[in-house]
Structure 1
Amino acid sequence: MFNNKVLTKNEIIWNAIIFVAVIFTAIEAPFSFIFQTKIQKWQLVSDLIISGLFVGDLIFRFQKKREQNMKFTSKGHRLKWMTLMSVDLIASIPYDILSYALGFHAFTYFRLFRLVRVVRLFEIVSHLAFVPKAIKFTAILTVFSVAVHWISLCWIMIAPIDQAQVIDRTSHYITAMYWTVTTLTTIGYGDITPTTNQGRLFTMVIMILGVGVYGFVIGTVTKMVQDGERYKQQNREKMHDLASFMKHYNVPERLQQNVFSYYNHLVTKRLTENDNKIINELPQALQSELSVYMNMKLIRNLPFFKNLTSSCLKEVAGALEQKYYGPGQTIINIGETGSEMYIIGHGSVEVILSDGNVVATLHEGQIFGESALLHDTKRNANVRALGYCELYRLDKEQFDEITTRHDELIDRISSLTSRRSGDRSERHSSSVKRIQQKLKEQEEAA
């Protein structure tokens, strides 16, 4: 769990749990200290839970280090890791429970040691680059809210409000927070002003700090919004350029539709137009492995591949070969011995019998030619591209190798083949009945 490491899903969830525990402590501990509240039962329960979480965090870190067999590359690296472990160890002490058990409720400084848990927050925040945008935004907003909370409590301590003007603790706290927000946002209505030198000095520091903090928060949120819209804007500009290109060269409408259709497919399939450029800068071995995961995203949501194990999906994705076909181009010829199946990534194909009848039209996400993977039979229909198609080919030899380790794949292929054979039999029976009915009508007419 170091800063240059991409977090797994489990690590993100665990860090989120620790984050909530730390934020709770960061809010409750200084509030209880400033207002000198007595320990309540709910505080004992929460302190026990949070202490248990930090014990679990300590164990989790040790297990992670043992699993990865990590070695320290320098003394600084070792010191950093030991410091983090020490923080977890100190943070796991149930200070509220100890205070309550020892009976010194008034010894509030001891309870304040719980704030050592906040140190863990800095490491969690350093991982925000590797989490989804919504989580990142929520975390930044939460940390900013805690900062406002702390400044408000400091204002109460340094420049206390006249108790005659305050009815209750809640009003006291809200008044202090109101001052903090107006000062940090540089609005400063002037209805609440410091009356002591300490208060004035503190206010000046917050004013200067507020300019930077306010600018940082606004800049961070703006950047996150712009990052989300950047690729959409690039795609809109590309579509506009394509439209201008088509108009300038008087491209036929049919071809325009094919071009726009394929480009829309690329937009939905890729994260950005730099996907290939990103992986092309990596070594060949890494390129191959990343390509597997790009193919996995393609096939994972197809009905045929749903509920298959991740290891099976990964092997299938690694075996897929990308193919392109133009309008009218034959993909499968009737009578030839098949040795592969195809997944339609983009476009449509039509299935044609020997008599020229079109019996099916297949679209994006559908599969054809699968019977060749189970039986060395000849193709019983032609398959032809209706437009520009992007297909993914799975070879029989690779399929046989995968099914030796994953029986569920051969079961799925068998089920699909049987179902389609049944559909063909029904269509054939219906055709025979229609022909017989037509002959009967002709005889009666004669």
Structure 2
Amino acid sequence: MPRPASTPRSSGIQVSEDDAAIARRIRMTAAVRQPRVRFDVIVALATIYTAFMAPFQAAFGNVHELQAVEALTEALFVLHIWTEFRTAFEDPHKPGELISSLPRIARRYCRGWFLPDAVASFPFEILLVILEAVAHSSIGSVNTSNVLRALAVLRVLRLLRVGRLWVIARRLKVTAFVRLARLLFSFVLGAHIIACLFWSLPYLERYSGQYASLPPLLQAGPQSWAEMNGLMDESVAARTQYTFSIYWTVATLVSVGYGDVHAVSVGEQAFSVVVMTAGAITYSVLFGSVATLLASLNAHEAKFRQKIDAVDAFMRELRLPKRLQQRVRSYFDFSFSRQIEGRAVLEELPVTLQGEILDWAHRQMLLQCPATSSAEPQFIQLLSLKLEQVIALPDEFIFSAGDAATELFWVKEGEVVILNGGVEEGAMVSWLPEEEEEEDDDDIDIDNVGGAGGGGVGVGVGGSRAGAGFGFQEPTDGWQAGHAASA
């Protein structure tokens, strides 16, 4: 049965016919589509790069070797703004309905992230290159050093895009590992920004004239931590200066410092007090959250290990062959890696809600099957409630000729081969066509209900490629179908 024109393929969100026509003309995309998700990942990587390089270049100077990368990043951010004006979104008042109207998309974006995105996408790098060329030319009679420093500092505004990372993360599948990575990223980025600020303090105090107000005795000695460690000389590389700064930052955040690199001026001492206070809060909150996440991960893995130990004890009791034991372990490993817990979640829901969920998940597949394509909607919903997930491994036989007709299969993913002549001397007759995979059905592998019959052939799983799925049998033709899932 052809797919209705009003249903987007991957999101399951309804779109009106008029909006769908507009979307085709302007190449509208939904935020959950795979091409857009890949583009969001690229933008996230560029945002991470900018989050670290913007404060570094503002504090330690421009890195000329990365000017091409900076220009490419700015172009990518401008392209991202363009795509945001052409990204449909779900109506918050009507869940399940996709808004693809250009005025509504523009109004929503302008009220939200447009201003931060526009400021962060400003071509500071191009202006810096132009001003540096003017400063070194004969027409550069005006001193542009202050303007260059101001533009370098303004690039810190690109940190506004860091909030975009959380928006992109919400579009992706958020797992415990993603939350853990987000916490660690927040700590590393915070330490990086503090290190850049700590290096900038001597320059800020010098330009503000604070050193001139010091007593003559204090002016005779080192007036900053950088000067005390001999880092103010122009011959010192930026990586050396940054290493001292990040060393002091990490030592101060996770402890109270070691004293080898310490604050000298009053401003640096005040800044150190703030950092030590923030470090105490960070240590208790951030690392406490990390410990909680790791404990939850270990609890899930420990539960899995207990199940594997019980399975191993069972197989040792039966003295199963090594090859058969390995197939059993592969099945449980695959089940654990896919986090297949949908049935347990559904059992906690009311029966009516279970029916709606399963009907939405399986209706398209059942309507494409010749045996159920003309069935009533009530029958489709009842049949969806009876479907159960089944996983088979590569090279496994789903059933053979002469088996009792007790199950009916729908192949959802993977490939199934029909063999003649039995297990050992079987020859491939044909491949069952692989169903078009739905992007949001990754957790549903193979469903079956009572009823599948014996025929003249056996059905097994192709060894070269297999994935979870569904299959069905047409009783009049006498052939069976099955499925396997890749381990």
Tell me which interval the TM-score lies in, with the shorter structure as reference length: 0.5 to 0.7
Equivalences for residues 378-397 of structure 1 within 5 A: 379-380=455-456, 393-396=471-474
Q: Which one has the bigger helix percentage?
A: 1
Partner residue, 1:106: 146
1:10 correspondence with 2:35: yes
Residue 163 to residue 69, structure 1, CA distance change in 2 (3 Å): same
Contact between 1:184 and 1:211, CA under 8 Å: does it hold in 2? yes
Q: Give the deviation of 1:136 after TM superposition.
A: 5.6
Given the alignment of the two structures, is residue 166 of structure 1 paired with residue 206 of structure 2, yes or no? no
Query: Does 2:55 align with 1:30?
Result: yes
> Helix, strand or coil: the match of 1:106?
helix
Q: Distance in 2 between matches of 1:274 and 1:243?
A: 22
Aligned twin of 1:300: none
Amino acid at match of 2:257: G
Unaligned runs of 5+ in 2: 1-29, 91-97, 135-143, 203-223, 367-383, 391-398, 414-418, 433-453, 460-467, 482-487
User: 1:47 touches 1:94 (CA, 8 Å); kept in 2?
Assistant: no
Report the residue type matching 2:260 in the other structure. D
Residue number among 322, 331, 339 corresponding to 1:265 in the alignment: 331
Equivalent residues of 1:279, 1:290 under 8 A apart:
no
- Specify the alignment match of 1:50 in structure 2: 73
Mapped partners of 1:182, 1:44: distance in 2:
32
1:118 pairs with 146, 151, 159, which one?
159
Note the C-alpha offset of 1:183: 0.5
Indicate whether 1:146 and 2:171 are aligned. Answer: no
Q: Which residue of 1 aligns with 2:199?
A: 156
Mapped to 2, the partners of 1:137 and 1:323 lie a distance apart of 31
The alignment yields a C-alpha RMSD, in angstroms, of: 5.4
Deviations 1:168-209 (A, max 9, x none): 143332222111010111152122222333222211211121
Structure 1 distance, partners of 2:256, 2:335, is 46
SS in 2 for 1:93: coil
Query: In the alignment, is the contact (CA less than 8 A) between 2:74 and 2:121 conserved in 1?
Result: yes
Residue 202 of structure 1 aligns to a residue in which SS?
Answer: helix
Deviations 1:337-396 (A, max 9, x none): 9x98898x9xxxxx998xxxxx42699xx999989xxxxxx944799xxxxxx9965122
Question: Does the 8 A contact of 2:401 with 2:456 survive in 1?
Answer: no
1:394 alignment partner, SS class = coil
| Corresponding residue SS for 1:395 | coil
**Matched-pair contact (CA < 8 Å) for 1:153–1:176:** yes
The partner residue of 1:284 within 352, 355, 370 is: 355
Distance change >3 Å, CA 88–CA 240, structure 1 → 2: same
Cα displacement string for residues 260-280 of structure 1 (whole angstroms, at most 9, x for unaligned residues):
987973563364463212244
Alignment of 1:144-293 (within 5 A): 144-158=187-201, 160-163=224-227, 165-167=229-231, 168-170=236-238, 171-238=240-307, 253=318, 265=331, 268-269=334-335, 271-272=338-339, 274-280=341-347, 281=349, 282-290=353-361
Contact 2:74 2:122 (C-alpha < 8 Å) held by counterparts: yes
Match of 1:434 in 2: none
Corresponding residue of 1:69:
99
Cα distance change on mapping 1:342 and 1:293 into 2, 3 Å: closer
Distance 2:469 2:70 in 1: 58
Find the aligned partners of 2:476 and 2:264 in 1 and give their Cα distance. Answer: 81
Count the aligned residue pairs: 335
TM-score, normalised with respect to structure 2: 0.53
Instruction: State the Cα deviation string for residues 88-140 of structure 1 (Å, max 9, x = none).
Output: 22222211212332443531223333333222211313543624666665554
In structure 2, distance between residues paired with 1:261 and 1:40: 55
Contact 1:43 1:96 in 2 (8 A): no
Give the AA of the match of 1:112.
V
**Where do 1:81-92 residues align within 5 Å?**
82-92=111-121
Describe the superposition over 1:156-175 as per-residue Cα deviations: whole angstroms up to 9, x where unpaired: 23353252632514333222
- Partners in 2 of 1:27 and 1:81 — Cα distance? 27
User: 8 Å contact 1:185–1:210 — kept in the other structure?
Assistant: yes
The structure number with the bigger radius of gyration is 1
Looking at structure 1, the residues matched to 151 and 389 of structure 2 have their Cα atoms a distance apart, in angstroms, of 69
